[in-house]
Structure 1
Amino acid sequence: MRNSCSTLLLPLAALSIVSCAGQKKEETKRPNIIFMMTDDHTTQAMSCYGGNLIQTPNMDRIANEGIRFDNCYAVNALSGPSRACILTGKFSHENGFTDNASVFDGDQQTFPKLLQQAGYQTAIVGKWHLISEPQGFDHWSILSGQHEQGDYYDPDFWENGQHIVEKGYVTDIITDKAIEFLAHRDKDKPFCMMYHQKAPHRNWMPAPRHLGLFNNTTFPEPANLFDDYEGRGRASREQDMSIEHTLTNDWDLKLMTREEMLKDTTNRLYKVYKRMPEEVQDKWDSVYAQRIAEYRKGNLTGKALISWKYQQYMRDYLATVIAVDENIGRLLSYLEKTGELENTIIVYTSDQGFFLGEHGWFDKRFMYEECQRMPLVIRFGKGVKAGSISSAISMNVDFAPTFLDYASVEIPSDIQGTSLKPILENEGKTPVDWRKAAYYHYYEYPAEHSVKRHYGIRTQDFKLIHFYNDIDEWEMYDLAKDPKEMNNIFGKPEYIEKQEELLLLLRQTQKEYKDTDPDEKEKVLFKGDRRYIDRVPLTKLSGTR
C-alpha cells in the first residue's frame, strides 16, 4: 500500500523527472560522424577555396554551412601513410606505415576502435589502401585490385571478408553502399562512417555521363607550368612526375584506339577498358577519338606539347571531381531526408593535395603547398557557425582526437594530434596556445616518381625543408612574398636570423613529436614483389636502389 500511496501522491513529480531525464538524454545525444575523404583532391579544384577551374557546389555547401580550414596539412603526402596518420592520430614514424610498401598494423589503436568500444556503430566504405584487413568496423566494404586502388568501372570490393564485383561507376557505387549502410544501421546507436572515394586518383577515368564533358573547355594554366627550377636543388630537378615526361600516352592521356588496345591486350589501359559495358566503351571511343586525332595531326613539341598535355590531364581529372561532388550532394540529401543532417558532423577532405600543373608537375609527395595542403571543410549544424574560416595550422593527425572529443571519448595520451573542437566552437579563431608549425616527413625513396626523402616545418609565413638520404640540401621559402615557392632563400644573408629561428623550431617540433632521428636511412632491398627494409645509419648508406 505504501508504494501505491507514493505513486498516487507524486504523479507530477514523477512526470517531471521523466521529462527532465528525456531532456537530458536529448541534450547529451552524441553526434554522428561522416568522414568524407577523396584521393588526390586538391584545393585548387574546389570553388569554395577560390579555385577557378570548376564549380563544386556540394563541397561548397559544407564549407558555407560550416567552416573552412585554410591551413590544414598532410604530415606525409602519400595515400597509405596519410590514411594511417588519420586513423591513429600519430605520425608515420610512430604508427609504422611510412610508405606505400608498408602494411598497416591493424592491431594498433585507432579512432574507429575507440568509438566502437564507446558504443558507436562504425563503417568504412570505399578506398582503404592499407593492405591489412580493416579492424574496428562493424561493417566494411573496401576497394580491392589494382594494388588496392580499385577500378573506376565495375570495381572489385572486399566486403566483410567476401569478394564481390559491383557493376557501374565506382564513385556512384561507393555512395550507394554508404546510403545502404545508413538505411540499415542500428538506429539506437550513433554512427561513424568513413566514406572514402577513389577519385580523383590517377588515371582519372570519368563517369560515363561525364565523358567528353570538358572536351571543348580550355583551362587556365598555372603561372609556373614551365618552371625551370632555377635556384633550387636536385630534388626538384630529379623528380619523375612531370607533365612533359612522366604522363604516359596510353594510361594517362588515353591516346589508344580500341583497335590498338586489342593488339596489345597486356596494356593496362585495355585491362580497365574491358571492364566497361560495351555501350560505355562505344562512348569512350567516340570521346577520345577527338583527342587522338588532335594529337596525331598536331605535331606539337616543346611548350606547346606541355600545354596540350596539361589540358587533357585537366579534362579527365576535373571530370572525376564533378562525379564526387554530385555524390556528396546525394549523401547530404539523404541525411536531410532522414532527419540526421543537423546531428551529424560532416567532414570533407582528401588524403593530401595534388599538383595540377604547378612546377610542371602532377602527383604529390613534395612538401610544397599544392600537395602538402589538404582541403578541410566541416559542417555540424548549430555546433559550427556557418561561414566560419580558420587560419589555424592543423594537420591530418588532428582528425582522430577531434572525433573522439566530440564523441565524449577520452583522448589517449599517446595520440600526437590535437582536437580541433575549440576552433570549431569558436568561429574558427586560433587558440592563444596553438601550435606554431605543421611538421612533415616523407620517406618513399627510391620509388615511383623519385621524390627524395625530406622533412620540415611550415609556419604561418615560412617553410623550411631538408632533403636527405642520397643528398643533403635545404630549402626555405618566404610564403608571404613567394606563395608559389619559386625562390629558395636558404642561406641568404637577409634571412639568416629567420633561418636560425626556424631551425630551432624544427628541432623543437621533432622532439615534441618524437622524430628525433629523422636522417636515419632505410636501406631498401627488393625480393620479388616484396620490399624489405633494414634500417642503417646515415653514414653507411649511399646510392641504394
Structure 2
Amino acid sequence: MSPSAAAVVQGLALAALLVLSPAGAARQARRPNVVLILTDDQDVYLGGMTPLKKTNALIGEMGITFLNAYVPSALCCPSRASILTGKYAHNHHVVNNTLEGNCSSKLWQKIQEPHTFPALLKTMCGYQTFFAGKYLNEYGAEDAGGVGHVPPGWSFWYALEKNSKYYNYTLSVNGKARRHGENYSVDYLTDVLANMSLDFLEYKSNFEPFFMMVSTPAPHSPWTAAPQYMNSFQNVSAPRNSNFNIHGKNKHWLIRQAKTPMTNSSIQFLDNAFRKRWQTLLSVDDLIEKLVKKLELNGELDNTYIFYTSDNGFHTGQFSLPIDKRQLYEFDIKVPLLVRGPGIKPNQTNKMLVANIDLGPTILDIAGYDLNKTQMDGMSLLPLLRGDKNITWRSDFLVEYQGEGYNSTDPTCPGLGPGVTHCFPDCVCEDSYNNTYACVRTLSASWDLQYCEFDDKEVFVEVYNLTADPHQINNIAKTIDQEILQKMNYRLMMLQSCAGATCRTPGVFDPG
C-alpha cells in the first residue's frame, strides 16, 4: 500500500470512529450541507431565469423563490465581498473592481478574509469547504500575492485568475497555477466547474458536513456559449418594456447623457448580447442538474441546502443605456434567489425584502454558529426558509456605489472631458467618478419606495414610488411629501454609518 493510500485509510478509520461515537453520530445527524451557486451578472428583472428550466424545477419548485432579493452594490467585486463578509460595502471597504478599490487587495486579505463566513464554517464549525470559479475580479493579481494566495477558510480551492472567461484562463488549484486553453471538452469553464464539483462530491470525506461555493462565469461577457447551445434563442431579443430606449428625464446627468433613440447598431448589439447571455446560462442549467443528481445518488440531497443567486443584475437598453450594471435601478440591483433544503416546503414564494448580506448569516445559522459572535450586517433567512410565524423582518436596506472615473479623458469620447468611463463608441458612458450614490430601498405594507442621493455638486436626489411606477420612469423627488423626504434622508445617513446590529434597526415605515 502506498504511503498516500495508507494515510487516506488511516484518516477514514479515525473519522469512522468519531462518527460512530454518540457525539459524532448526533453531530452528523443535525448538521446539514450547503451548496451556494453564484452566477455573474444574471438579472431577474429582464427574465434572466427564463432559460433555466431545470434550475427552476430542481430548486425553485422544490423550495422557495424570493421575489424581492437584492444586492447592496450592483457591481461584481463589492457585491461578492458583501456575500463573503455579510457586510455592506462601507464596512468591508471594497468599492469597485480594482485593486485600488480594495478588490482582492492585500488590505482585503488582511482585514476581511479571515472573518468571511467560509473561514468561520471551516475553523469554528468543522465544515469541509470547496470553492470553484470566479472569486473576486482582481484575484491572482501579482501585487496581491498572485494565484499562490489561497484565502483562509477553504479546504479545496479552484479559483479563476481575474475576471470571467470561458476559455484561455488560469485557475489556482490550491495555490498552484493551472492553465486552460480552448478545447471545449476539457476547457469550457462552466463544464470544468461542474466536473470539479462532482469530483469533490465523489471523493470528499463523508464524516464532516460540507459547504460548496460554485461561481460560474455565465452570463458575464464575453458570453461564449458551449458549442451545442450557440444557435439557441435565435428569435429572442431584449425585452421592450416601458423604460427601454427612452430618455432618462429627471435623472442624474449620467443617465440623461445617453442618446435617445439608440442607433440601430446599438440595438442590434444589445439584442445579440441578450441572446448570448441566455445561451451561456444553458450550461449553468446543466451544472445544476448534475449537482442535484449526484447529491441524490450519494443520499445527501435531503440534508443539503442549495442556494442559487447572482452577484448583480443587468440592463440592456433601459433608459437608452446599452449594456452594463452598477446603476441604482431595479434591473441592476435585483437578483434571483432560489433555495431548497431540509424543512423548506416546495413551491413557495416569499415577498420579504432580502439581500445578499443575508447569505453569510443564513449559512452560519444553518451550521449552528452563534451569529452574535459575528460583525455581520445581514440577517439569517433561516426563519423565512422554515416558514416561522410572526417574524419581525426588515422593511428597508441600503444600496451604495462609488463611481469609477479617471482624471484623464476617455480616448473613445474626448469631447466629454475627464471623469467618465466604460464608454461605448457612440459616446454613451455607463459610469463616472461622480456616479456615487446611496439609496434606501423600502418595501413595507404601505410603501414600495426608493430614495437616492448622489454625492456630487448638485446633491442630486431621485425618488421612485414603485407601486405606481414599477419601471422607475418618473422621479418624484420634487413632488413627494417633504416630511417623507426628510425622514428618508435621516434614515439614509443612519444606514450609511451603520455596522452590525445597527444596520437592522426599524425603518421609516416599520410599525411603531
Q: Deviations over 1:16-71 (max 9, x none)?
A: xx9995897278420101010010011146576xx5xx453323431111111111
> TM (normalized to structure 2)?
0.78
Q: Which residue of 1 aligns with 2:370?
A: 410
CA deviations 1:394-445 (Å, max 9, x no partner) are: 1111111111111001222411111111111117x7723x222110110132
Mark the CA change 1:514 to 1:327 in structure 2 (over 3 Å): closer, same or farther: closer
> 1:512 aligns to what?
498
C-alpha spacing 1:313/1:75, structure 2 compared with 1 (3 Å): same
1:335 to 295, 299, 311: 295
Q: Distance in 1 between matches of 2:82 and 2:315?
A: 21
Distance 1:487 1:96 in 2: 32
1:106 aligns with 2:106: no
Contact 1:40–1:200, Cα closer than 8 Å, also in 2: yes
Paired with 2:313 and 2:208, the residues of 1 have a C-alpha distance of 34
Instruction: Flag the 1:307–1:47 CA change in 2: closer, same or farther, 3 A.
Output: closer
Indicate whether 1:349 and 2:309 are aligned: yes
Q: CA deviation at 1:98?
A: 1.6
Unaligned residue ranges in structure 2 (runs of 5+): 1-18, 181-185, 406-420, 423-429, 503-512
Counterpart residue number, 2:510? none
**Distance across 2 between alignment mates of 1:232 and 1:47:** 26
The counterpart of 2:325, out of the listed 358, 364, 369, is: 364
User: 1:125 is paired with a residue of what secondary structure?
Assistant: strand
> Secondary structure of 2:324's match?
coil
Please state whether the residue corresponding to 2:234 is helix, strand or coil: coil
Q: What is the CA–CA distance in structure 2 between the aligned matches of 1:92 and 1:211, rounded to whole Å? A: 37
Letter of the 1:181 counterpart: F
Aligned match of 1:441: 400
For 1:122, the equivalent position in structure 2 comes to 129
- Amino acid of the structure 2 residue aligned with 1:466: E
Identity of aligned residues (%): 30
Is residue 453 from structure 1 mapped to residue 467 from structure 2 by the alignment? Answer: no
- The answer (yes or no) to whether the contact 2:64–2:339 under 8 Å persists in 1 is yes
Name the SS for the 1:43 alignment partner.
Answer: coil
Q: 1:29 to 1:416 in 2, by over 3 A?
A: same
Report the Cα offset of residue 512 of structure 1.
Answer: 3.2
* 1:487-506 alignment, distance < 5 Å: 487-492=474-479, 494-506=480-492
- Contact 1:141/1:157 (<8 A) preserved: yes
Aligned to 1:31: 32
Shift of 1:343: 0.6
SS in 1 for 2:95: coil
User: Matched residue of 2:380: which SS?
Assistant: coil
Moved more, 178-187 or 446-455: 446-455
Contact 1:238–1:450 (8 Å) recurs in 2: no
CA contact (8 A) 2:52 2:281 kept: no
> How many residues are paired up?
429
Once the two structures are TM-superposed, the CA of residue 471 in structure 1 deviates from its matched residue by 4.5
CA contact (8 A) 1:45 1:318 kept: no
- Partner residue in 2 for 1:379: 340
Name the CA distance, whole Å, in 2 between partners of 1:219 and 1:327: 25
2:154 is aligned, of 137, 148, 155, to 137
Residue matched to 1:56 = 53
Structure 1, residues 87-143: CA drift from partner, whole Å, max 9, x if none?
Answer: 111111211212111243223311111100121001110111252532210110011
Equivalent residue, structure 1, for 2:464 = 477
Find the aligned partners of 2:88 and 2:237 in 1 and give their Cα distance.
40
2:427 aligned residue: none
SS of aligned partner of 2:364: helix
Secondary structure in structure 1 of the residue aligned to 2:277: helix
Aligned runs of 1:86-485 on 2, under 5 Å?
86-101=83-98, 102-104=102-104, 105-107=108-110, 108=112, 109-117=115-123, 118-129=125-136, 130-131=138-139, 133=149, 134-144=151-161, 148-166=162-180, 167-218=186-237, 220-238=239-257, 303-361=263-321, 362-381=323-342, 383-411=343-371, 412-426=373-387, 431-432=391-392, 434-446=393-405, 447-448=421-422, 449-451=430-432, 452-460=435-443, 461-469=448-456, 471-485=458-472
**Rounded Cα–Cα distance in structure 2 between residues aligned with 1:511 and 1:154:** 42
Matched, 1:71 2:52: no
Q: For the residues of structure 1 that align with 2:34 and 2:327, how far apart are their CA atoms?
A: 31
Residues 73 and 399, structure 2, Cα contact 8 Å, conserved in 1: yes
Measured in 2, the distance between the counterparts of 1:61 and 1:150 equals 26
CA deviation after TM superposition for structure 1 residue 221, in Å = 2.4
The C-alpha deviation readout for 1:301-333, integer Å capped at 9, x for no partner, is 955444323321222111111221121111111
Tell whether the 8 Å contact from 2:237 to 2:274 is kept in structure 1 after alignment: no
1:195 shift after superposition:
0.6
For 1:440, give the aligned amino acid.
Answer: V
8 Å Cα contact 2:130-2:213 kept in structure 1: yes
Shift of 1:513: 3.5
Write the distance in 2 (CA, Å) between the matches of 1:168 and 1:235: 39
Residue 346 of structure 1 deviates from its aligned partner by: 0.3
Cα distance in 2 for partners of 1:138, 1:55 equals 30
Question: In the superposition, relative to structure 1, how do residues 336 and 234 fare at CA in structure 2: closer, same or farther (>3 Å)?
Answer: same
Unpaired runs of 5+ residues, structure 1, are 1-17, 245-300, 517-545
Give the direction of change, closer, same or farther, for the CA distance of 1:435–1:458 in structure 2 (3 Å limit): same
Using a 3 Å threshold, how does the CA distance of structure 1 residues 65 and 46 change in structure 2: closer, same or farther?
Answer: farther
CA positional deviation for 1:157: 0.8
